[in-house]
Structure 1
Amino acid sequence: MSNLNSAQVLLQLIPTLGYISKVTIETTYGLVITVHPDKSITVHHNTVTNPGPDGASSHSAAAGPDPEPDAQSEQPGYKYRMFPEYIAGFVWYDSTWPGNPEGEFQVDEDELVERYGDAWNKAYDSWVDRYIAAFEKQEVHLGSHNHPFPDREERKAWVVEGLLLACWLSLQPDVENVEYSPDAEKIDLNKGSVNTVLQSFLEELEKYVT
């Protein structure tokens, strides 16, 4: 099942878990989510083809098959934090992590594009833009104290969409961990825990949405 908004599709499936056959959802940037009849959820990522400057196709190495544990470098990967900060940014380094650039906190957009290609970054930019547009529409930047997404279903969809972006990022070979703090409580994602964390997050979605 290919989609324009995987989060909305996934949210529609949650109430029917246990009553459906196996369903597969693929995001535009290559994250594949499989919902199984036993209610378990697994994710992996496919290679995404990006058009080059001359129109030729090239494959993003970051979106290739998951590396085997023994093939990973001894150098620790990046540890990212994802949370919304109006205008300032949405992806940050954990400044205490030895695998991150020393003395740096904010991750530049150019760095994200260089490391993870156009497909994921296009989806990420769209996710960020929706938040900023909602933030300004509710005049939160002017001190209104409104939530950017007053409609709770829209809020859930935005939170889940960010979770899927974080899941994909956590599966990349150069990433050690992603801490996702969308609205309320935070979660940690890594290659060994992404399936169980995603399933738990969706089952307990209400506690992650203020």
Structure 2
Amino acid sequence: MGDSWRTLQDSSSTDDNESTIETSFDLSMKIKCDLNVTIKFEIPSRQCSTAFEEEPPAPKEGLHHYRIFPDYGTDFLWFNVADPSYDPPDTYVDSSEVLSRMHPSVAQGYDSWVRAYNDNFKARCEDTQDYSANVFGTPSEYVAWLVTGYLLAWRIALDPRVGSVEYLPGRTPHVLERGTETAATVAFLEEQAMLLANPMSHS
């Protein structure tokens, strides 16, 4: 997966109840634990006043809605039902076109994430002709990949031209849109904890 998940950093905060996770693909996640857990995502490049994403948000009816799910040999990105361009059966999206409008590190991280799955699938399933094999060798590798994808999906969802992203790496869909940061992330992390507690369920 390259450095896309290995460079996640937990930055110390002056608040003992708050921690920050910094990714290598232009996204920070702040977790605050008081009586309740609060999760907030920030995009560092916007705070640096770069040329990226300075345009105002698109009108609600013009926002894009995507699905991200693994399909060997593809870029994993598709139009979702609510997208203005949704036209089945041709719902495939060129990820390079979508991500080129964001900070360059987003495309780099996304490509590394997709390549990690495709490389593992080829080595463990296609080359061996054992399509029942787990794509990742250990539950921890699988969860690391899932978490990286989840954070990348949030980075895409927070683009001003995007209304939502449905992240579907397994059986449970996670719909990511502004205002659902805490609820969606808590539910997702609980699911990952269950995967680690039940190693036989990993893919």
Question: TM-score, normalization: structure 1?
Answer: 0.75
Measure, in 2, the Cα distance between the counterparts of 1:150 and 1:184: 19
Paired position in structure 2 for 1:60:
52
Distance 1:157 1:8 in 2: 11
CA 192–37 in structure 1, closer or farther in 2 if over 3 Å, else same: closer
The 1:74/1:156 distance shift into structure 2, 3 A limit, reads closer
**Paired position in structure 2 for 1:43:** 41
Q: Using the alignment, how far apart are the partners of 2:159 and 2:9 within structure 1?
A: 24
Mapped pair 1:120 → 2:112? no
Identify the residue that residue 157 of structure 1 maps to in structure 2.
Answer: 144
Contact 1:92 1:106 in 2 (8 A): yes
Q: CA RMSD in A?
A: 3.0
Question: Secondary structure at the residue paired with 2:69?
Answer: strand
Q: Is the 8 A contact 2:4 2:25 kept in 1?
A: no
Paired position in structure 2 for 1:136: 122
Aligned counterparts of 2:164 and 2:4: Cα–Cα separation in 1: 27
Tell me how far 1:48 sits from its aligned partner: 6.3
Query: Per the alignment, do residues 185 and 155 of structure 1 end up closer, same or farther by CA in structure 2, a change over 3 Å counting?
Result: same
* Shift in alpha-carbon separation, 1:188–1:4, aligned structure 2, 3 A: closer
**Structure 1 alignment gaps of length 5 or more:** 11-19, 50-57
Please say which of residues 158-167 and 180-189 is displaced more in the overlay: 180-189
TM-score (normalised: structure 2): 0.77
- Is the CA contact (8 Å cut-off) linking 1:48 and 1:119 kept in structure 2? no
**CA distance in structure 2 between the partners assigned to 1:166 and 1:4 by the alignment:** 13
> Who is 1:52 aligned against?
none
Quote the residue 1:99 is aligned against. 84
Q: Is residue 164 of structure 2 the alignment partner of residue 177 of structure 1?
A: yes
Calculate percent identity across the aligned residue pairs.
26
- Secondary structure of the structure 1 residue equivalent to 2:172: coil
Is contact 2:7–2:23 with CA below 8 Å preserved after alignment? no
1:74-133, Cα deviation, whole Å (9 max, x unpaired) = 433111000010002311112x32522545411113312333242101000000111111
> Paired residues, what number?
186
Contact 2:9/2:22, CA 8 A, preserved across alignment = no
Residue range with higher mean Cα deviation, 96-105 or 128-137:
96-105
Report the AA paired with residue 95 of structure 2: E
2:28 corresponds to? 32
Amino acid at match of 1:118: P
Shift of 1:23: 1.2
Runs of 5+ in structure 2 lacking a partner? 11-15, 196-200
